[in-house]
Structure 1
Amino acid sequence: MRSLATILWLGIKELRSVLTDTVLIGLVLYSFSLAILAQARSGSQEVRNASVAIVDEDRSPLSRRIAGAFLPPLFRPPAFLAAREVLPAMNAGRYTLVLDVPPHLARDLLARRHPVLKLDVDATAMVQAGLGAGYAQQIVAGEIAGYLARGRGTGPAPVTLVSRIAYNPNAETAWFTSVMGILNSVTMLAIILAGAAIVRERERGTLDHLLVMPVAPMEIALAKIWANGAVILTAVGLSLVVVVRGVLRVPLAGSLPAFMAGTAIYLFFATAVGLYLGTVSRSMPQLGLLFLLVYLPLAMLSGSNTPLESMPPWLSAALQASPTVHFVAFAQAVLYRGAGLDVVWPRLVVIAGIGGLFLILSLRRFRLAAKAETGG
């Protein structure tokens, strides 16, 4: 009970220190609010309001039918250009796609000839160009098939393929990137706050006071873990409710308390890593450099940006030892598919086990640092 009381009061001291650090608090607020909104709304991977122009040299019902099939919200209403206006308009960046409908298109199709339509694409708008060109081809092919079927009296296709997308039926990027942004912010801030807590004590000279007090290194470490973890856990909950659900209107299929419980276990690992880096670093610049070496591989290879299945088999197998990979898989299972703790508990056990290993390493480094500071 005495140790628990010590951990509690040391944690309250750490909370006061964090809450009075305006830079760290500003970083936490930005990372879980404006940064999530920017990532969700600026990193869109779907076509929205692509600018289209059509050179209609056929002027037939078919060409008008094709032009009328480019509809919002994927495309803006198409503009009509003359052939001589295409190159200046593309060079000026006014249109992403320009469809050139050749003369006598409808007549050649009915005569079973093979006319050629030209689609000019501005590839500097990468997402709009790649996906937009594919949508444009589907639109043209579908309208031509419908026109020929009506003209020749052919029946419908014998087989119809219907696709159903689970959880995210409209394949909106924001539904995925917003939650993944929160997961990356959890890893980033947990390491920074916990590491900065140790370095800040050393730079202010208060570490010497802690080391001569009748407290154990385990008590100091656990106090910093729960205090910094509580700040981040509160920010995660507010971000999910206010930003993801409220502003972005992203439905969360699973249990929010279950996700928060798993996040608390992951914060145990991430803050333990931060403590370890804090015991190694002698200053904030050193902590920043070590943070980059640790955080970037954890975030880039976590599965939040690139699926593990697309990585080399040896790498995806090795990454099963990364708690960040298990945390991302846990979050996707709970928030996207509504899985319960009875399904995801093995991943939480792995995260807790590796977090305990880093805590042991941190305590060992902390004892070495304590001997160096006290000269013992």
Structure 2
Amino acid sequence: MLRRKIENIYRLGVKELWSLWRDPVMLVLILFVFTFAVYSSASSAPETLNNAPIAIVDEDQSQLSQRIVSAFYPPEFTPPIMIDQSQVDAGMDAGDYTFALIIPPNFQRNVLAGRRAEIQLNTDATRMTQAFTGSGYVQQIVMGEINEFVQRYRGSNAPAVELALRARFNPSLDKSWFGGLTQIINQIAMLSIILSGAALIREREHGTIEHLLVMPVTPAEIMLAKVWSMGLVVLVAAALSLNIVVRGALGVPVAGSLGLFFAGAALVLFATTSLGIFMATIARNMPQFGMLTVLTLMPLQMLSGGSTPFESMPVAVQTVMQAAPTTHFVKLGGAILFRGAGIDVVWPQFLALTVIGLVLFAFSLARFRKTISRMA
């Protein structure tokens, strides 16, 4: 009896894989989210400064002003464009550069004499993210060059206390390390919900669900087949993306065990595929399922700790999101991939994912049985 159930689950799962293979839209979606979406998200993070155009008006033509000009270079800024005072407004209006730094005459002389020295920074605030982040960068760079120049000129002694900054797990502070791996984690949850839900709705729209009702299979076998088949597709795609795109194209090192990470991914796939099937039983067609997916994925991705630190959210949100599988998967994935954690560290997340997965599967199975009974 058990052997027959396992064979039914296996054969129904193979049927799901063949149905997915004949769906070019879903195949393109899988290819896109695990290649281009991962690469672009890792290499172009909007919250960081990257190739911001800057122009400089150097009316002082001094050693200090030249030091300031040479301090701006890629990847944070493009090589500075040297312009005249009369070109500032026109260039800002045309959007040719985000920042325009004006160094007035006698700037170095005033600095060395201890007199009030002013420098003007014009910022195009319509480019809000770059303007906010870049203004701080510019101020830090300018003040750093001024302080270093003054110390060398006056021959002052070095401070008795020196601050040594050590960045762990990402010593080069490369944003692609975080962006690439986090995107893999987010895409696993997103794609598993879409594939499992779309598989059920596709059968309902094509009329093949009625064929299953007359076969000697149970709702649990049908649902388990969808869970393992769609979960396997996402797991294989994620493994290829992690090794080819993240580790290969982006050159991001992985600190921990990939086997342990994908074991956690299998648990979260069990939960999210069950959630996708539950949503598909509520939606009547694919457009409705798409709307439900948007309403579900947005809070899952934004409030699970993958985009912003989980600890910075309100306590009420943190409490509610403990019931989301993605919250524990983000913690698990970050601990393993970034910090090289073992099972002794991430076992609470494994346990939480197991419980959440069983609860979601039970709810989805009950809803699935009810839906099938209505169709019968």
- The one-letter code of the counterpart of 2:39 is L
Matches within 5 A, 1:209-288: 209-288=211-290
Of 139, 142, 165 in structure 1, the residue corresponding to residue 141 of structure 2 is 139
- The one-letter code of the counterpart of 2:200 is I
Separation (CA, whole Å) in 2 of partners of 1:229 and 1:38: 24
Following superposition, the deviation at residue 356 of structure 1 comes to 0.9
Do the aligned residues in 2 keep the contact of 1:259 with 1:335 (CA within 8 Å)?
A: yes
Distance change >3 Å, CA 291–CA 46, structure 1 → 2: closer
Do the aligned residues in 2 keep the contact of 1:194 with 1:274 (CA within 8 Å)?
A: yes
Larger displacement relative to structure 2 (252-261 or 176-185): 176-185
Structure 1: give runs of 5+ residues left out of the alignment. Answer: none
- The one-letter code of the counterpart of 1:186 is I
Larger displacement relative to structure 2 (331-340 or 19-28): 19-28
Distance change >3 Å, CA 78–CA 206, structure 1 → 2: closer
Following superposition, the deviation at residue 232 of structure 1 comes to 0.7
Separation (CA, whole Å) in 1 of partners of 2:9 and 2:52: 57
Following superposition, the deviation at residue 339 of structure 1 comes to 0.7
- The aligned counterpart of 1:120 is 122
- The aligned counterpart of 2:72 is 70
- The aligned counterpart of 1:347 is 349
1:45 aligned onto 2:37: no
Matches within 5 A, 1:96-111: 96-111=98-113
- The one-letter code of the counterpart of 1:61 is Q
Separation (CA, whole Å) in 2 of partners of 1:10 and 1:120: 64
Per-residue CA deviations over 1:5-40 (Å, capped at 9, x if unaligned) read 221111111111111111111111111111112222
Do the aligned residues in 2 keep the contact of 1:229 with 1:271 (CA within 8 Å)?
A: yes
Separation (CA, whole Å) in 1 of partners of 2:242 and 2:7: 32
Following superposition, the deviation at residue 267 of structure 1 comes to 0.3
Larger displacement relative to structure 2 (266-275 or 137-146): 137-146
- The aligned counterpart of 1:84 is 86
Separation (CA, whole Å) in 1 of partners of 2:370 and 2:66: 78
- The one-letter code of the counterpart of 2:163 is L
Separation (CA, whole Å) in 2 of partners of 1:31 and 1:147: 49
Do the aligned residues in 2 keep the contact of 1:108 with 1:114 (CA within 8 Å)?
A: yes
- The one-letter code of the counterpart of 2:130 is Q
- The aligned counterpart of 2:186 is 184
Separation (CA, whole Å) in 2 of partners of 1:144 and 1:11: 67
- The one-letter code of the counterpart of 2:64 is L
Find the residue that maps to 2:322 and give its secondary structure: helix
Distance change >3 Å, CA 371–CA 153, structure 1 → 2: closer
Distance change >3 Å, CA 218–CA 90, structure 1 → 2: same
- The aligned counterpart of 1:194 is 196
Following superposition, the deviation at residue 304 of structure 1 comes to 0.9
- The one-letter code of the counterpart of 2:20 is V
Separation (CA, whole Å) in 1 of partners of 2:81 and 2:374: 74
- The one-letter code of the counterpart of 1:176 is F
Do the aligned residues in 2 keep the contact of 1:217 with 1:363 (CA within 8 Å)?
A: yes
Separation (CA, whole Å) in 1 of partners of 2:334 and 2:28: 28
Following superposition, the deviation at residue 44 of structure 1 comes to 4.4
Do the aligned residues in 2 keep the contact of 1:44 with 1:173 (CA within 8 Å)?
A: no
- The one-letter code of the counterpart of 1:83 is Q
Separation (CA, whole Å) in 1 of partners of 2:288 and 2:62: 70
Separation (CA, whole Å) in 2 of partners of 1:143 and 1:31: 43
Of 35, 38, 43 in structure 1, the residue corresponding to residue 37 of structure 2 is 35
Identity %: 47
Find the residue that maps to 2:122 and give its secondary structure: strand
- The one-letter code of the counterpart of 1:291 is T
Do the aligned residues in 2 keep the contact of 1:54 with 1:78 (CA within 8 Å)?
A: yes
Distance change >3 Å, CA 3–CA 102, structure 1 → 2: same
TM-score norm. by structure 2 comes to 0.94
Following superposition, the deviation at residue 251 of structure 1 comes to 1.2
CA-based RMSD of the aligned residues comes to 1.7
